[in-house]
């Protein structure tokens, strides 16, 4: 659908940039947002820190070794949410077709917009400038005729970047694109791609859909289409919450059965609180365990009862844990989530529901 005009806006190092804005002493310095503790993880790193190789999801301890002058700043999530709302207020000046991807990025369909601006790139320029003038933050934007290419474009000239992939140039752009830069291709998928001889878009283009599906399952069709610049998904202003969960990385790996049961109980209590706040009700409970060697397993079960209270969730959580044979392994992380929304099932009986894209390992 080359006639569409899609913008992807991505705030630059969002959490870290907000912290630097709020505290002038942090401006120009290498900072990482996260908890400064043994098992702490970097949430966002400033671009000054990224020059040293620090990135999100990295261990805080590793980050400090890579960047000795790194400043660790605790997160202020309520502030980030407030700023995100302000960013979306700017988006709504141009269109109501806004699909949030996370707290710091979103797709906008500006094919028809409130100011009748012909070129999407002009809208992207105005949005970036208003974010800078009003919020004193920078954003990067990508412009194209579908979500896949707009997303790729927004990453192309970060930070404070703007890049357009025109329909006439999409084919040549995709052919040169490293496979690691394709949206939805993470480390594991990239390794599989390399194994079958795919290192860029041109090589992906030569693969049949049948072969890609054999290797990557249903994601194979997505990669097949992406190689051809095809992504017909609409920008969806409302996205139904699919699950609610929580997880805890322990300061010390657990191997004692009593300790594990106690932590499982605490995780259930936290999950119930999150379910209450989000008013989410589902029927499927999933247990996630990550061991000290970073191997990971999940177990899930679906109940006839609505999972919203301790009396329903705790017995199921214990049952799932009982199914797991830890074989002497120490547990590093424990997580629980509820999915299979009751409201979704009841509201959409007999209807087709468009789901979000699912990839084998999403970046």
DSSP 193-231: HHHTT--BHHHHHTS-HHHHHHHHTTHHHHHHHHHTT--
Q: What percent of the chain clears pLDDT 90, i.e. is strictly above it?
A: 74
Quick one: pLDDT at residue 188?
87
pLDDT band at 344 (very low <50, low <70, confident <90, very high): low
Q: 255 or 176: whose pLDDT is higher?
A: 176
Which two tokens mark 157? Answer: 């000239």
The residue whose two tokens read 């700017």 is 90
Cis peptide before 183 (omega within 30 of 0): no
Residue 142 has pLDDT above 70, yes or no: yes
Residue 226 has pLDDT above 60, yes or no: yes
Residue 351 has pLDDT above 60, yes or no: no
Query: How many helices (DSSP H) and strands (DSSP E) are in the chain?
Result: 14, 12
pLDDT band at 349 (very low <50, low <70, confident <90, very high): very low
Quick one: pLDDT at residue 294?
82
In the DSSP assignment, the letter for residue 160 is S
Indicate the helix (H) or strand (E) that contains 98.
Answer: strand 98-102
Mean pLDDT, rounded, for 151-157: 95
Residue 124 has pLDDT above 50, yes or no: yes
The residue whose two tokens read 């949030």 is 100
Residues 236, 234: Cα–Cα separation, whole Å: 6
Domains detected in the chain: 1-165 (3.30.70.270), 169-227 (1.10.150.20), 243-347 (3.30.1490.100)
What amino acid positions are annotated as catalytic residues? 105
Q: 90 or 350: whose pLDDT is higher?
A: 90
Q: 3 or 344: whose pLDDT is higher?
A: 3
At 177-219, the pLDDT tens digits run 999 999 889 888 999 999 999 999 999 999 999 999 999 998 9
Quick one: pLDDT at residue 352?
32
Residue 355 has pLDDT above 50, yes or no: no
Q: 351 or 3: whose pLDDT is higher?
A: 3
Residues 301, 282: Cα–Cα separation, whole Å: 11
At 26-48, the pLDDT tens digits run 999 999 999 898 888 899 999 99
Residues 112, 159: Cα–Cα separation, whole Å: 28
Mean pLDDT, rounded, for 87-104: 95
Residues 93, 80: Cα–Cα separation, whole Å: 21
pLDDT band at 361 (very low <50, low <70, confident <90, very high): very low
Q: 294 or 285: whose pLDDT is higher?
A: 285
Average pLDDT, the chain: 90
- Give the Å distances, CA to CA, from 229 to 247, 298, 361: 37, 34, 21
Least confident of 115-124, 131-140, 266-275: 266-275
Q: What percent of the chain clears pLDDT 70, i.e. is strictly above it?
A: 93
């Amino acid at each position: 659908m080359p006639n569409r005009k899609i913008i992807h806006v991505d705030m630059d190092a969002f959490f870290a940039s907000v912290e630097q804005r709020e505290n002038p002493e942090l401006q120009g310095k290498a900072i990482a947002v996260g908890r400064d503790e043994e098992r702490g993880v970097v949430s966002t790193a400033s671009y000054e820190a990224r020059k040293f190789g620090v990135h999100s999801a990295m261990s805080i301890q590793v980050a400090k070794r890579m960047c000795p002058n790194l400043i660790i700043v605790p997160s202020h999530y309520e502030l980030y949410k407030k700023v995100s709302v302000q960013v979306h207020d700017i988006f709504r000046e141009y269109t109501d077709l806004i699909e949030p991807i996370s707290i710091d990025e979103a797709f906008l369909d500006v094919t028809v917009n409130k100011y009748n601006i012909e070129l999407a790139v002009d809208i992207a320029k105005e949005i970036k400038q208003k974010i800078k003038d009003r919020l004193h933050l920078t954003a990067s934007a990508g412009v194209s005729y579908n979500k896949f290419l707009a997303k790729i474009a927004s990453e192309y000239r970060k930070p404070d970047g703007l890049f357009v992939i025109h329909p006439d140039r999409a084919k040549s752009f995709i052919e040169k694109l490293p496979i690691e830069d394709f949206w939805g291709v993470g480390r594991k998928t990239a390794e599989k791609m390399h194994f079958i001889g795919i290192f860029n878009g041109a090589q992906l283009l030569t693969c049949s859909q049948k072969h890609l599906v054999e290797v990557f399952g249903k994601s194979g069709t997505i990669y097949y289409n992406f190689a051809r610049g095809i992504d017909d998904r609409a920008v969806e202003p409302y996205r139904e919450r699919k699950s609610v969960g929580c997880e805890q990385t322990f300061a010390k790996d657990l191997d004692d059965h009593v300790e594990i049961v106690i932590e499982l109980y605490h995780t259930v209590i936290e999950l119930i609180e999150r379910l209450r706040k989000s008013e989410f009700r589902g029927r499927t409970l999933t247990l996630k365990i990550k061991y000290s060697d970073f191997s990971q397993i999940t177990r899930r079960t679906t109940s006839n009862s609505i999972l919203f209270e301790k009396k329903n969730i705790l017995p199921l959580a214990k049952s799932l844990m009982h199914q797991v044979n830890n074989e002497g392994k120490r547990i590093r992380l424990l997580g629980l989530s509820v999915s299979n929304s009751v409201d979704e099932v009841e509201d959409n009986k007999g209807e087709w529901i468009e789901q979000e894209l699912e990839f084998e390992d999403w970046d």
